A and B are shown apart, each in its own frame.
Chain A
Amino acid sequence: MRTPEPILHLPKFNWRWLWQEYLSLLGSRRSKGVLALFLMALLATPFVLEKPPAELVHFIGQWLGMDNARFKLVLFAWTDLSMNKLAVLSGLALASGLLVSEQAKGLLTLLRSKPVSLATIFGIKLLAAVGVFVTWYTLVSLLALLSYASIIPEFSHLAFLALSLTHIGAGIFSVCLCGLMALCFQRRLNAMVTATFLLFLLIGTAFLGFYNPHLLWLVQFNPFYHGVSIVTQIQDLSIWAVLQRILTLMLFNGVIWGLGLWRAQILEKREAF
């Protein structure tokens, strides 16, 4: 009896290849550009948040909870003003042309002459892009963690750490979605336009559930909501609350990553590239 063919073949990983791919992307001009923007956000945030007006703190307190509203505003601004936008930008700059760019430059034929599947190439390149994003995000979050306590009053290391740990998952979602879009459209411009639009829609509505609790059901489908929702619970942080969000976001990212691999297999069968 023939065993049915699995829908999804997990790619075979060559760690050395992944490492080289990561290093080459890390040193690229676009990766340095992303880092520069991350560092600008790091430097600008304390200035922006130096003297928030009392009414603003009050309004934020109404939505996110009154206790420690001043620091919640810091977390709100950090994610809404900088990190969400940088997540979108990182996705676009690091992954929105996966495989399609290689094809346009004529490199894909060369890559495909090796004994690896299209899904493996995609999987490794996407992981390298995620790796570069995680590297810069972690670096900037650590710098913020070390330096902001002396600049921003009421800074809570634990809350900031919890937020960074969950929000990084939303950023990874952005990178994965950009990679998936590249394969869905196989044309960079269309992929970039769609990814830009979808991601801006998601970050634009990430806080909708706080403004209007009737819409909480809707934002459950938005990974950026799960990336920021820990802000409401910073007084009684529990490992479970953080873990729950990390797992949710891992699920989102796993699904997108799997869809990407699946799409790569379909394209391979169709000999689309």
Chain B
Amino acid sequence: MNRLMQLEFQKQPKRWQGILVSFNLLTAFLVSFILPRMPENIFAFLARFFKMNNQTEMILLNDYLGLYVVVFWVAFFEYLSIFVIPAEEGYLQLLLSKPLTKRQYLLNKLIPALSSALGWGLCLMVGTGLGIAVINGLSDFQLGNYLAISGICVALGLLMGFLTLFLLLWFKDTYNAILIGFAVWLIPILPSALFMYRPDIFVAIPWLRWILVFPANLIWLGEQSQLFALWLIPALGLLSTGLVLLTATVWESQDLV
């Protein structure tokens, strides 16, 4: 590990990330607590429209979404300080005047930020799991499925983060970056609303729900989610690696910093 990466690792984890994750965990506990106390028709509604079998699955649906959201935003806000903020504030040129290539600079900044996002994802995974065990009990909770689906949500959050990073090469200011981040973040989760409003489309094209209705579709997989995660997580990881390398290559070829 070189000095730059060491210094970057020393900056992680950051306080705001801890606060964000704590709030998310608190929200997850609150949902665990409130959902069983909601009027019966709410539960019937959610269970009916997202095809959930029991309360635990309903709560998990919310928690998996939270996991994706937190991992994505922690990564996104960290990635902003790689080249967007330095470019905007005018010191990226200075940073890159040191004897290191753009690729080295990118990786040295990226790996500590990525580790932080991954670490917080794992914390949230453990915390949420414990919350469900304590508040809702383990009768409908399968640890293997939980780990598999959580893993997929974290991997997807990271992949979407890298996609944003790649697009940020053309949007090097914070305001535009947040627009891009927002749009990319919504790609996996927005189409699931369609499942609620237009079930007829999913009847006509049955396989569509396996692609569009994240993260409910992972819950529907049940036991099969474990096998699915075994190949999907590495596949998402591979795609992520490819995207990072592509980002580095394209950035190297950009004339301006």
> Chain A interface (Cβ within 8 Å of chain B)?
29-30, 33-34, 37, 47-53, 55-56, 59, 62, 77, 81, 85, 89, 92-94, 96-97, 101, 104-106, 188-190, 192-193, 196-197, 201, 211-212
Contacts and interface: CB of A to CB of B under 8 A. Distances in A.
Contacts of A192: 77, 174, 178
A97 B175 contact: yes
B255 interface: no
B23 interface: yes
Contacts of B175: 30, 93-94, 96-97, 101
B177 to A, nearest CB: 10
Contacts of B178: 89, 92-93, 96, 192
Given A49-B197, A196-B73, 18 more contacts: A29-B176, A30-B179, A33-B176, A48-B197, A56-B197, A77-B197, A92-B182, A93-B179, A94-B175, A97-B175, A101-B88, A104-B85, A105-B90, A189-B16, A192-B77, A193-B73, A211-B42, A212-B38
Contact of B176 (A30, A48, A85, A211): A30
Interface in B18-49: 20, 23, 27, 38-39, 41-42, 45, 48-49
Contacts of B88: 101, 104-105
A196 B181 CA distance: 12
B44 to A, nearest CB: 8
B199 interface: yes
Interface in B38-93: 38-39, 41-42, 45, 48-49, 73, 77, 80-81, 85, 88-90
Interface SS, A side: helix
B98 interface: no
Tell which of A37, A50, A106, A192 has the most Cβ of chain B within 10 Å: A192
Contacts of A59: 41, 45
Nearest to A189: B77
B194 interface: yes
Contact of B90 (A55, A62, A106): A106
Given A56-B49, A188-B174, A212-B39, A48 B179 contact: no
Tell me if B's interface is mostly helix, strand, loop or mixed: helix
B73 A53 contact: no
Contacts of B111: none
B49 A189 contact: no
Given A89-B182, A189-B80, A190-B16, A51 B198 contact: yes
Contacts of B77: 189, 192-193
B221 interface: no
Given A50-B198, A197-B23, A62 B179 contact: no
A52 B197 contact: yes
B200 interface: yes
A30 B45 CA distance: 38
B63 to A, nearest CB: 14
Contacts of A34: 179
Nearest to A45: B197
B138 interface: no
Of the listed residues B80, B174, B198, the one surrounded by the most CB atoms of chain A closer than 10 A to its CB is B174
